[in-house]
Amino acid sequence: MKLIVGLGNPGEKYENNRHNIGFMVLDKLARKLDINFNKQVKFNGEVSETKIHNEKVILLKPHTYMNLSGNSVKAIIDYFKMDKDDILVVYDDMDIETGKFKIRIKGSSGGQKGIGSIIEKLGSENIPRLKMGISRPEFHQVTDYVLGDFPKEDISMVNECIDLAVEAILLFVETGDIDLVMNRFNKK
């Protein structure tokens, strides 16, 4: 069983924010797999379940708002008695250029509150993650920047990056080998 978590904030006003790129990736993955999300109160989020190559896969978009994402992730992990190695968390990272992503097996939160909440609730930094680049703001406050939408000139590049991220997720589900996925998709 694999759990793919996309981080973001619920609600229409946040839909296209940089901070919601984790939700965008999961939405694209769900469309590719032709599955829908359903609200699940017990997990405080939207959940979709499917099978890929006989592997049960759960997609989760927490509705706790970014800073409390760990509550939703912990609830679903406890319910399904999952191991941290079977999780992949997708979220935004300002230290990676827009249009690129990095896959990591572990690490600190780097100041990203959503993954920070997950690390705190699970009691470990050993959580596989796919960090989607949104670049660092030059002239904006960080909060205004991450809660702002991608500029029109970046949309095509962001969509291409989302497509590649979906490919990486599918390879992770298919092989269960995060090292293979990192070797194939991490760009220098």
Q: Which residues belong to the active site? A: 19
Which of 102-122 are b and which e, b meaning 16 or more Cβ less than 10 Å from the residue's Cβ?
bbbeeeebeebbbbbbbbebb
Question: What is the 3 state secondary structure string of 11-75?
Answer: CHHHCCEHHHHHHHHHHHHHHHHCCCCEEEHHHCEEEEEEEECCEEEEEEEECCCHHHHHHHHHH
* Residue 14 annotated in ligand binding: yes
* Residue 44 annotated in ligand binding: no
In angstroms, rounded to a whole number, what is the distance separating the alpha carbons of residues 29 and 23? Answer: 10
Binding site membership: which residues?
Answer: 14, 65, 67
Binding site membership for tRNA: which residues?
Answer: 14, 65, 67
